[in-house]
Every structure is written in C-alpha cells, then in structure tokens.
Amino acid sequence: MKHASVSSVSIDRIMDGKRTKSPDLLAREEPLEIRLSSGKGSSRIQRAVSVTMRTPGHDFELAIGFLFSEGIIPNYSVVSGIRYCINKETGEEETNIIRVELDEVFELEWKSDRNFYTSSSCGVCGKASIEAIQTNSSCKRFDDDQLAFSAELIMSLPEKLRKEQAIFEHTGGLHAVALFDAKGELLIMREDVGRHNAMDKVIGAKLIQNKTEFSDCITLLSGRASFELIQKAVMAEFKVIAAIGAPSSLAVSLAESFNLSLVGFVKADRLNVYNDSSRIHS
C-alpha cells in the first residue's frame, strides 16, 4: 500500500515460537510548521505560529482548523491564500511548512505571549481555561437548538467509523474524528496521530467547504474525550460529542458549561451519558 500517511518497515514477527521477517505499515508522524502572514503592503509580517506533530494529509485543513479553533481567525473568509513554502535553494515545496496568507483588510490581534498546547493532558488550570473560552465572544452556550438523537443511532456509529478508517486498518496507530448526520450518514472523517489534529482537520474542512449543516450533527471521537477536543468542538459549534473512550473530568465540566451533549464509552449495545442537554433519548 503506497500512501503519504503511512511508511513501510521490515520487522521481526514472532508467532508460535517462530521468528520471521515481515513487512509492516506504520502511521507516519512528521512536524508541520504553520506560518501566518498578515498586514498591509510592504508592512506585512510573517510569524511562525505553531509546530505540531501530525500525519501528513489534509494539511491545509489542519492549518485552518487550528487557527480557527485557537481563536486566531474568525472564519475562512479572512484567508486570502494558503500554500506550502518553497525551498529557496531547491525550488521545491517544503511539505512540512505551510504559510497562511490573511487578507490585508483583516486586522490580526496577536498576543506575543501566545503559547499553544497540543498534548492530551488536562494539566492546566481548569477554572482559568474554561473562563478563557467563556470570554471568547464567538463562543456561546448551546441553549437554543432542537437537536434530538436516539441512543440506538449513536451506538451504531463506531462500526461505521471503523469501516471508513483505511489507514487505521493498516497501522492501528491513528485517531479519528467523524461527523454523522441525523440519519447516521457519514459526512466527513479525518485521521491523524494526534487526536487534536484530527479534530482540527475536520473543522478546517468544514470552514473551507463553507458548510453550515455540521452544527446539527454528531461528532464521533475514536478515542477518549479530552479537554482540548471539547474546547475545539465548542469553537466549531459541534453540539453533540460521542466518544468511544472515556471523557476527562475537565472535558465534562466544559461540556456542562456550554450545554454540550457529551457521551462516552460508546459500544454497539451501550453508552454512558455525561451531559445530556435533552438531546439524547432512549
């Protein structure tokens, strides 16, 4: 299988007491530097915003989703261009460096002390983190929708996701985030070695495609629901999150703060509801 998101290696496989050479596929993990260009005319400034370890593929979506979910850009309309940087010596694309050009009329509010965490740890101050999101003018509680999904529908989604995870099937090493509509039909799915990257790729796809119906869907996480995934879901207005794994305590607190429906340990015959918001019925 030849794919930009996987690498082939030779391994020693031991089975039934026998050792044999065998080919194996690994999920690729490479750094992606995101650069941002903003300003007017000759006074434009380029900044290195972030370096994240990711699985190559859907890199533009990842960059846009990251910039949006971190509150750096309000939407995709402020982006005038996005491309891989060019190596000045070879003239070839640097596929691990992306430059996002912002429209000259967009005034970027940049704080020099910005720092971005990309781990799945919740080792930050929960109260301060939630308050920071609550003060973001683009984030509002989800109190005015009429969404309703059956538990039976949600329990059917993990199997549908697994059938679509082509890279995971060959490597076993990737996280996935998928959006399903009210009928359980898959709308979009992205995989990555980083669960936060998979979420950003989905958000970026939503923004680039200028889709609006994604706010009325179920977001399925292939693993656990950590704080930063719920934070990004709130930014993207994903109101129902279902995770095959467990949520963290801070993820539940954030879901409650924004009236986001959060479900965990989703299996074919059971699930746990951590925050219902009257959207999930038996």
The span from the CA of 46 to the CA of 23, in Å, is 43
The span from the CA of 254 to the CA of 124, in Å, is 13
Average pLDDT of every residue of the chain = 86
pLDDT in tens, 150-182: 999 999 999 999 888 866 555 566 899 999 999
Place of tokens 């039934």: 16
Look up the domain containing 265 and give its range: 149-281
Provide mean pLDDT across the span 197-216: 88
Longest alpha-carbon distance in the chain? 68
The answer as to whether 17 is a domain residue is no
Extract the tokens encoding 23: 């080919």
- Which pTM does this prediction carry? 0.87
The answer as to whether 257 is a domain residue is yes
Please provide residue 64's backbone torsions phi and psi, each rounded to the nearest 5 degrees. -65, -45
The answer as to whether 139 is a domain residue is no
CATH number at residue 203: 3.40.140.10
Could you confirm whether 217 is annotated as catalytic?
Answer: no
Question: Over pLDDT 70: what percentage of the chain?
Answer: 85
For residue 277, pLDDT over 70 is answered with yes
For residue 263, pLDDT over 80 is answered with yes
The answer as to whether 277 is a domain residue is yes
The confidence score (pLDDT) of residue 249 equals: 95
The answer as to whether 231 is a domain residue is yes
Cβ atoms of residues 219 and 178 within 8 Å: yes
* Of 85, 122, 125, 139, catalytic: 122
The count of domains in the chain is: 1
The answer as to whether 35 is a domain residue is no
| Amino acid code (one letter) for 58 | H
For residue 121, pLDDT over 50 is answered with no
| Amino acid code (one letter) for 110 | W
- Residue 245 — very low, low, confident or very high, per pLDDT cuts 50/70/90? very high
Please provide residue 106's backbone torsions phi and psi, each rounded to the nearest 5 degrees. -85, 120
Contacts (Cβ under 8 Å, ≥6 apart) of 167: 3, 5, 6, 27, 55, 174, 191
The answer as to whether 270 is a domain residue is yes
Of 190, 167, 153, 146, residue with least CA distance to 279: 146
